[in-house]
Structure 1
Amino acid sequence: MDKVVLRTKRDVITFVNDHPTGSSRGKIIALIALGSIFIDAYDFTSLAIGLDSMKAELNPTPFQVGTTTSAMAVGALLGAIFGGYLVDKLGRYKLLILDLVLFVVAAIGAALSPSIEMLIFWRFLLGLGVGLDMPAALSLVAEFTRNRDKGKFVNLWQPMWYAATITSAALVLPLVFLGMEEHMWRWAVGFGAVPALVILVLRFLFADESPMWAAHNLGMGEAVKILRKNFPSTEFVIEDGEVESETDTRISRIFERGYRLRSLVVAVVSGFQAAQYFAVGFYLPVIVGLIFGQDVVAIVIGTILLNVFGLLGGGIQPFLTHRFGGRVLTLIGSAICVLALIAVGMVEVESAPYLAAILMGAFIFGHSFGPGSQGKTMATLSYPTDLRGTGTGWAEACSRVGSIAGFYVFPLVVAAVGLSQTMIFLAAVPLIIFVTVLVARWDPKDVDIEAGSVGPAAGSASPALAPRQP
């Protein structure tokens, strides 16, 4: 059995980050944490496919429709503003349990809503859960995986997202064939409680608090208890080390020198990718209807097929992150998005609907390959343990501002100038991401994030962590 001496909280972080294989149990915990991303995405997109049935049943005004579709984004914005700070203050595990309870209760409440006002209320609570969940889930993933695997595991949130959007659309098909279109939205929204309940049970059975967060906030003893569960073949010995200062959890730290540039890049990538996704991605059934007509089955199948492009792009990029870094992936993906949107705008949709659909698929691929995935991953990997929740909360807040803009602006612009012209206008969004990332040159790849340094990471572990034979 290897023996490891731990003297400081930095030793705990270095042990996990530099472990040669990583913890198998830790990887399971990371995947369970990513399970909540499936729920986030499902809850965000489930109403889109049943929007027409909801309108027919509840008869909302246009303003109420806009408020209903954006209520989750508003709730997520508020949840992210406070959630990131709470994740760093109270811990990852507590927030992950709380938000899953919210997911279960709010999904059932939304499905049973007797009025549009109650639906808006429950959708807001769902959004609040999403805002709390993202910083907690992604922080936990990053803090249970070694450096070599961090980018890959954190970036798995993107294929998880598209798997959920495909699931939400696929669930609608049996309802259509069974003639249950009248209450389609209720079934689609309510089903979100099922995966939430499954993930909640799994978290109770397997999840732990982050050993890195525990070292910062609960003491070395608690951190070692968690490490022993996840690295059973290692003997951990705590020895007195240097006296460490208390953790500074001020939110303003992410805007101070040393963090300012990365916080700017994180804000632009996260905010603008959300604007383009929720302008196009959330309204994908509407766009498919404009291209292929209003047949419900054609809209559902078209939506599923276009989201497969997102599953492909999101599924490829996690395995390229460690080699190329998030900056390169963002530049490539943003360039694809710019070209695809301009091309869609120049195509005569009525005479070439299949070409327009393929180009929309290219946009979804580019988005998930680059800025879509990095909108959350870059923030998760750009901040040290004591700021990771705050940093991911900042990214999530920017993302929700972008999503609200996408929800509201896109339908207004389409109504004013049509789909083709809207796509050309929308190309400015990924172009802004491309230029910002190109000029700023921030990439957490090969950076010692925990040291607060922007220089190359140290190539070797702390001497205190070198395994020794007893």
Structure 2
Amino acid sequence: MGRVSTVVIRSAADVNALVNSGAARGSNARVIVFLALGGIFLDAYDFSSLAYGMRDITQQFGLSPVWAGIVNASIMVGAVVGALFGGVLVDRIGRYQVFMADMLFFVVAAVGCALAPNEFVLVFFRFLMGIGVGMDLPVAMAFLAEFSRLTGRGSKASRTAAWAPAWFTATSACYLVILGLYQVVPHEHLWRFTVGFGAVPAIAILLVRKKYMNESPSWAAQQGDLEGAARILRESYGVDAVAEPGPPEPKKASGSFRPLFSSRYRLRTTLALAVALAQTFAYNAVAYGLPVIIASFLAQGPLTTITASLVLNLGFAVTGGLLGIRWARRGAWRMTVLGFAVQLASLVALAVIGKPTGSLAPAALLSLGAFLFAQAWGPGAHYMTFASLSYPTSLRGVGVGFNQGVLRIGSTLSLFLFPVLASALGTGVFWVIAAAPAVGLLALLLIRWEPVGYDVDAEDALTASST
């Protein structure tokens, strides 16, 4: 791509305006977006890799339902810690350094889980894996928002929504890996090889980071480093940017959760949390419990369970996620409302069907598929839109980190409770899960905030004065 004429930047607002307008579009910037999505790919793979193996892990280590819940939930406990501290670090020390650190967590944790001799070691490394996952989402969403234009193709809304197909592609890839390993690996060790394989893409990302990865120009400018922002624009965008600092700008608050509850952001924070908690409770119970649902409730064998999980994720979730990128311009609020409505109907159908026999089995699978399809283009895609695009650059890390930290508490609860409730209630558990999208719908109807297409970065100066 040829270089554009020289652009003079005198403030952080100039950098934001340049990126938001779409005038700065370089090949390296697209690679950075791809690498950020690669981090999300790892998050999903690591979550999914043990979901299928939970039955084997339970048998191998002789776990009770409570201990199975602890193993399931340990990654979420780590993610709470990683999200809260990672969000603060993303705003204080920058996006680049945090991204590099969490890649190392993925490598060490994947190998540690694969070699775990007992449930105690497994819980420890699952916890470390969770820290990596928790740190990754605030930094990945910051990169996606801050290396994208405000509207049009490749917009902030489209790229933040792109996290959903990346997530579901990783889930599908995980089941493809399982399907391949199923043919050559002893079945009792299948989960170990699957989890360990997660270190491979993490190492690949680490190897290419030096050539392409860069700091966010918006964050650098917001820190007062206009020279650094100009350099990033030259290196990553091919924009001939020159820094000519204007009058000193007021120092923006960095790494504090307090502004999230100021009068300007209070309702946005509340809605983002409500949508996040509602979607995560339902999704974790259904998606991470998918192998259990298919194998136990639908009474299918191991190979059918793997194949059905793959088809549901690849056919419904990935397709829905790709459509979600295209539909993102229609607005996060509208698409999330529609998504929750479809999920509510799907869960009610599963509860009514119960343990299916004969012709009802395809209906149950279609209901699961509809749930995943709606998740991918609705609440699953846009809960991150609400969390990322409701705050300007100075608050984006802590905004996403706080959202993820609280969300992971809900995720921990759902992952711990699902094995226990499924054991006690059977298919009646779907009635409990159905409450989640109902709550999400209520929150959206009460707070009608639309972040798509809104220039939230223009609020940074106002944020400084209010804090």
- Report the TM-score range of the alignment, normalised by the length of the smaller protein: over 0.9
2:231 equivalent in structure 1: 225
**TM alignment of 1:159-198, pairs within 5 A:** 159-178=165-184, 180-198=186-204
The letter for the 2-side match of 1:405 is L
1:88 aligns with 2:95: no
Question: In the TM superposition, what whole-angstrom CA distance separates every residue of 1:124-155 from its partner, at most 9, and x where no partner exists?
Answer: 00000001111011101111111121111121
Using a 3 Å threshold, how does the CA distance of structure 1 residues 57 and 291 change in structure 2: closer, same or farther? Answer: closer
- 450, 457, 466: which one pairs with 2:457? 450
2:465 equivalent in structure 1: none
Using a 3 Å threshold, how does the CA distance of structure 1 residues 174 and 400 change in structure 2: closer, same or farther? Answer: same
1:425 equivalent in structure 2: 432
1:400 equivalent in structure 2: 408
2:8 equivalent in structure 1: 5
The letter for the 2-side match of 1:198 is A
Question: In the TM superposition, what whole-angstrom CA distance separates every residue of 1:367-414 from its partner, at most 9, and x where no partner exists?
Answer: 111111112222111110000001110121122122112112222222
1:458 equivalent in structure 2: none
Question: Residues of 1 paired with 2:85 and 2:199: CA distance?
Answer: 24
1:277 aligns with 2:283: yes
The letter for the 2-side match of 1:320 is W
1:214 aligns with 2:214: no
Task: Assess if the C-alpha contact under 8 Å between 1:291 and 1:357 holds in 2.
Answer: no
Question: In the TM superposition, what whole-angstrom CA distance separates every residue of 1:407-442 from its partner, at most 9, and x where no partner exists?
Answer: 1222222222221x2212321111111121122001
Q: So what's the TM-score if we normalise by structure 1?
A: 0.93
Q: So what's the TM-score if we normalise by structure 2?
A: 0.93
Using a 3 Å threshold, how does the CA distance of structure 1 residues 44 and 417 change in structure 2: closer, same or farther? Answer: same
1:144 equivalent in structure 2: 147
1:262 aligns with 2:252: no
1:303 equivalent in structure 2: 309
Question: In the TM superposition, what whole-angstrom CA distance separates every residue of 1:66-106 from its partner, at most 9, and x where no partner exists?
Answer: 11111100000111111111100010000000000110011
Question: Residues of 2 paired with 1:288 and 1:275: CA distance?
Answer: 19
Shift of residue 359, structure 1, vs aligned partner: 0.8
**22-31 or 257-266, which deviates more:** 22-31
Question: Residues of 1 paired with 2:111 and 2:245: CA distance?
Answer: 51
Question: In the TM superposition, what whole-angstrom CA distance separates every residue of 1:445-464 from its partner, at most 9, and x where no partner exists?
Answer: 232201229x9xxxxxxxxx
Question: Residues of 2 paired with 1:409 and 1:62: CA distance?
Answer: 10
Question: Residues of 1 paired with 2:409 and 2:340: CA distance?
Answer: 19
1:314 aligns with 2:321: yes
Shift of residue 218, structure 1, vs aligned partner: 5.1
2:247 equivalent in structure 1: 242
The letter for the 2-side match of 1:368 is A
**56-65 or 350-359, which deviates more:** 56-65
DSSP-derived class of the 1:50 partner: helix
Question: In the TM superposition, what whole-angstrom CA distance separates every residue of 1:287-319 from its partner, at most 9, and x where no partner exists?
Answer: 111343241101111111121211111110111
Question: Residues of 2 paired with 1:272 and 1:441: CA distance?
Answer: 16
Using a 3 Å threshold, how does the CA distance of structure 1 residues 377 and 446 change in structure 2: closer, same or farther? Answer: closer
DSSP-derived class of the 1:2 partner: coil
**123-132 or 347-356, which deviates more:** 347-356
Aligned length: 451
1:287 equivalent in structure 2: 293
Question: Residues of 2 paired with 1:41 and 1:168: CA distance?
Answer: 9
Using a 3 Å threshold, how does the CA distance of structure 1 residues 437 and 78 change in structure 2: closer, same or farther? Answer: same
Using a 3 Å threshold, how does the CA distance of structure 1 residues 302 and 244 change in structure 2: closer, same or farther? Answer: same
DSSP-derived class of the 1:312 partner: helix
The letter for the 1-side match of 2:89 is L
The letter for the 1-side match of 2:455 is D
DSSP-derived class of the 1:171 partner: helix
- 370, 384, 398: which one pairs with 1:390? 398
Runs of 4+ deviating beyond 3 Å: none
**TM alignment of 1:48-67, pairs within 5 A:** 48-67=51-70
Question: In the TM superposition, what whole-angstrom CA distance separates every residue of 1:228-277 from its partner, at most 9, and x where no partner exists?
Answer: 11233x43232342321011122210111100011001101111211111
The letter for the 1-side match of 2:200 is V
Task: Assess if the C-alpha contact under 8 Å between 1:291 and 1:350 holds in 2.
Answer: no
1:41 aligns with 2:44: yes
The letter for the 2-side match of 1:95 is V
Shift of residue 21, structure 1, vs aligned partner: 6.3
Task: Assess if the C-alpha contact under 8 Å between 1:376 and 1:396 holds in 2.
Answer: no
Using a 3 Å threshold, how does the CA distance of structure 1 residues 282 and 268 change in structure 2: closer, same or farther? Answer: same
Runs of 5+ consecutive residues of structure 1 not aligned to the other structure: 456-470
1:414 equivalent in structure 2: 422
The letter for the 2-side match of 1:438 is L
DSSP-derived class of the 1:5 partner: strand
Shift of residue 109, structure 1, vs aligned partner: 1.1
Runs of 5+ consecutive residues of structure 2 not aligned to the other structure: 463-467
DSSP-derived class of the 1:147 partner: coil
Aligned CA RMSD, in angstroms, stands at 1.7
Question: Residues of 1 paired with 2:147 and 2:209: CA distance?
Answer: 14
Shift of residue 158, structure 1, vs aligned partner: 0.5
1:441 aligns with 2:448: yes
Using a 3 Å threshold, how does the CA distance of structure 1 residues 362 and 374 change in structure 2: closer, same or farther? Answer: same
The letter for the 2-side match of 1:393 is G
**163-172 or 104-113, which deviates more:** 163-172
